[in-house]
Amino acid sequence: MHFGYLSSDGYTWASIIIVAAFAIRGMLGFGSGLISVSLLIFFLPIKLVVPIVFMLDAVASLALGSYDYKQIRWKEMPWLWAFTIVGLIVGAWVLKTLPAQSVTVLLGIFILIYVGYALIAKPERLPLVSRIWGAPLGFLAGLIGSLYGGGGPSIVAYFQMRHLGKRAFRASFQFIAVTDAVIRGALYFLLGLLGSRSAITSAWLLPWVAVGLVSGNFIHFRIDARRFQIVVLLVLAFAGIRLVLP
């Protein structure tokens, strides 16, 4: 039996990957894109994986965004939001025309340096940066989001250095993620990157997104702030290594 682009064996492994990736998303508010893309490319080409994960991420963003809506920190958004959109447009064009790997290594290096610094300085003692830092970090998020379905690390770094609590952190991230879903969906459609088989594959995997989100949300309300920050940095480290390695 085939599940869109996946065989029966591929679907079993993909289901496990999706549950794990979206449990992280439910707990932290980010991480599902890079984790699922990084592992699903063992079964499918990246230009098929990215649109599939995009559709799953869009559903997760809407679910978490509606749940956490009142916790969004709107004052953090102007620079970050506008430049994320610019990055999404540039990234979609690159995905269509150029090798995606060629523009990801520098972001991976930045993320790993940031993780090392945050671990030495301790996450709760990170410097408070100006909101204008949302411009370059938002652009990187949009660019890498279009290319790999996982532009979250640079936004995470921004929110950590703006000292958001874990609920506001997760809620504010979802606002950017919903914007990402709307803009990136339109761009992928116009560039011919979305197709019916991608939608079918996503539909078969969608129940496992729900399982992951519910599990992660349960953990979110039972993890203290310090452990939350450490888990965030561990997921960022994974993302940084994934971006640097070919």
Q: Please report the pLDDT score of residue 242 as a whole number.
A: 75
Q: Please report the pLDDT score of residue 122 as a whole number.
A: 65
- Picking from 70-74, 96-100, 186-190, which range would have the lowest pLDDT averaged per residue? 96-100
Helix, strand, coil content of the chain in percent (nearest 5): 80, 0, 15
**Which residues lie across from 3 on neighbouring strands?**
6
* 3-state SS assignment for residue 45: coil
DSSP label at residue 217: H
Predicted confidence band of residue 151 (pLDDT cuts 50, 70, 90):
low
Residue 19 and residue 36: Cα distance in Å, rounded? 9
Give me 193's structure tokens.
């990157």
22 pLDDT exceeds 80?
yes
CB distance 165 to 121 below 8 Å? no
Is residue 210 in a domain? Answer: yes
User: Does 151 or 57 have the greater pLDDT score?
Assistant: 57
Q: Please report where in the chains the tokens 């803009």 appear, as a residue.
A: 183
Domain that holds residue 102: 8-244
Residue 202 and residue 27: Cα distance in Å, rounded? 22
46 pLDDT exceeds 90?
no
Is residue 78 in a domain? Answer: yes
Number of H helices, E strands in the chain: 10, 0
Per-residue pLDDT, averaged over 90-96, amounts to 78
Q: Please report the pLDDT score of residue 77 as a whole number.
A: 86
30 pLDDT exceeds 90?
no
Domain count, the chain: 1
Per-residue pLDDT, averaged over 28-54, amounts to 79
Cα 9 to the chain's mean position, in Å? 26
- Picking from 78-82, 94-98, 152-156, which range would have the lowest pLDDT averaged per residue? 94-98
CB distance 104 to 243 below 8 Å? yes
Give me 2's structure tokens.
């085939």
Residue type, 78: P
Q: Please report the pLDDT score of residue 18 as a whole number.
A: 93
Q: Is the pTM of this model over 0.85?
A: no
101 pLDDT exceeds 60?
no
**Which residues lie across from 6 on neighbouring strands?**
3
> Percentage of residues in the chain with pLDDT exceeding 90?
11
Give me 114's structure tokens.
């940031």
Give me 147's structure tokens.
């290319």
Is residue 3 in a domain? Answer: no
135 pLDDT exceeds 80?
yes
Residue 213 and residue 20: Cα distance in Å, rounded? 9
Q: Please report the pLDDT score of residue 107 as a whole number.
A: 63
DSSP label at residue 6: B
Per-residue pLDDT, averaged over 122-147, amounts to 81
Q: Please report the pLDDT score of residue 246 as a whole number.
A: 61
Is residue 1 in a domain? Answer: no
Give me 234's structure tokens.
């561990």
Per-residue pLDDT, averaged over 34-57, amounts to 81
216 pLDDT exceeds 90?
no
Predicted confidence band of residue 104 (pLDDT cuts 50, 70, 90):
low
Per-residue pLDDT, averaged over 19-34, amounts to 82
Burial degree of 76 (CB within 10 A; 0-12, 13-18, 19+): buried
